[in-house]
Structure 1
């Protein structure tokens, strides 16, 4: 009995998920199955259209619907949480090599806003008065450096690029105390410094030396500029301060 029920459930869910590839379960009226399909698929499609308004508008109704139907039929989500379905679509689009490159990047760009809006307010321990050059600078949990091959901040229904520009789009996404997420353009040095802060627990001086090695210049020639950047980032609450001495040596 249990196996029969399970087989019926799998048959029904398979049909609802992908009616073109899976026959309907016997004995259920097509009209009723269509109602179930609309309830399940319609809710997911509407949720994602709201999470990715620019992508939705840029693709147009037909291409968006085809994309949603394929995602719904083929992608196996790893989370039951509605708040994380947008991240599942980002993962799915990164596997779709047949789509224009800007599609996956635009989705990621729009998704980052959701990530920051839902992010934990708790910040790592830090000394707000610490020396940013001698200490280890602490990056806010609510600030993310981003790099895209496509000009994601300019893409929309009236501007769909055919080729990626030579220069990447470097951005900083940051959530303020008012829970408003802002995106700002970054110069290459600022982006490189933020990526270094995100990936390595080093003193400001060591970050400067590592960047200088990449650029191929003497650390002393970058130190003043790097310190100025660190102070600007601290004024914007992107850098919080430095790791407290006790924690740094633990």
Structure 2
């Protein structure tokens, strides 16, 4: 608007300097450096800020990084610097900000792989499970109970995911150009060993649906969930679904995807 006062213009001088300083760091090719900061000092700050974040993104998204030539990767990170305004205060949350930028603001380019968003999300999930400060509440849970007759309890350290591309198996040297006919269903989870390692498990759509039902309707027994799935499938032998599902439930508990079970509601 003509005659409007820029937000920074109404601030004290030192805060105006901060605005000018950070604006130049974000977009040095378009925003001039403050007049009263030596060029050598400015160059140090520009290099440190950019290299710290770019290095962090390269470690948080290692497979995604390997899918890009250096110039294309750095152009995308610079686009993040210029256009994205972060809202998360902690440094490790910058990966979530980068994911949000890719999902909402990044302008797709011919050099971008078609699985860009899915791979970025998958790698962010892996990283978040490493740092997630959550201790599963096991009160009232029987770790060895009957998963069919009681209500299975899913761990909070679990992501039940579906992607068009096999993001867990992408080879940057030979990346896919088209999605396969069937989606890729994955459970990404952190175990409860002393090392608290993060794993992935490729599952079929039936197991994915079972986990979805357990999470959305936690009061129902494993048998009730499996009966519901057999009905959805219009399976001619529901007992076969229940038999196979019972083995799946035991395996999920063995992997710490399920914590155990509680008495079913009603």
1:142 and 2:151 equivalent? Answer: no
Q: How does 1:66-105 map to 2 (within 5 A)?
A: 66-95=75-104, 96=106, 98=108, 99-105=112-118
Q: Deviations over 1:32-89 (max 9, x none)?
A: 2221111111111111111111111111211110111111221122211112111211
Secondary structure of the residue that 1:158 maps to in structure 2? coil
Return 23-32 or 140-149, whichever deviates more.
23-32
Q: With structure 1 as the length reference, what TM-score do the two structures score?
A: 0.89
Contact 2:147 2:260 in 1 (8 A): yes
Contact 1:140 1:239 in 2 (8 A): yes
Secondary structure of the residue that 2:200 maps to in structure 1? strand
User: 1:32 is matched with which residue: 20, 38, 41?
Assistant: 41
Of Structure 1 and Structure 2, the greater helix share is in: 1
Q: How does 1:1-250 map to 2 (within 5 A)?
A: 3-95=12-104, 96=106, 98=108, 99-120=112-133, 122-125=135-138, 126-176=141-191, 177=193, 178-201=195-218, 202-217=220-235, 219-243=238-262
Partners of 1:171 and 1:113 lie apart in 2 by 12
Secondary structure of the residue that 2:177 maps to in structure 1? coil
Return 164-173 or 210-219, whichever deviates more.
210-219
**Distance of aligned partners of 1:44 and 1:130 in 2 relative to their CA distance in 1, 3 Å threshold:** same
CA RMSD in angstroms comes to 2.2
Structure 2 gaps of 5+ residues are: 1-9
Partners of 1:129 and 1:42 lie apart in 2 by 49
Partners of 1:25 and 1:90 lie apart in 2 by 31
Contact 1:15 1:22 in 2 (8 A): yes
Partners of 1:30 and 1:68 lie apart in 2 by 23
Return 214-223 or 159-168, whichever deviates more.
214-223
- Cross-structure match for 2:3: none
Partners of 1:38 and 1:48 lie apart in 2 by 15
Aligned residues: 247
Partners of 1:2 and 1:237 lie apart in 2 by 54
Q: With structure 2 as the length reference, what TM-score do the two structures score?
A: 0.84
Partners of 1:210 and 1:88 lie apart in 2 by 38
Secondary structure of the residue that 2:229 maps to in structure 1? helix
Secondary structure of the residue that 1:115 maps to in structure 2? helix
* Distance apart, 1:2 and its partner CA: 5.4
Contact 2:114 2:177 in 1 (8 A): no
**Distance of aligned partners of 1:181 and 1:144 in 2 relative to their CA distance in 1, 3 Å threshold:** same
Return 214-223 or 112-121, whichever deviates more.
214-223
Partners of 1:213 and 1:89 lie apart in 2 by 41
Contact 2:144 2:260 in 1 (8 A): yes
Contact 1:55 1:156 in 2 (8 A): no
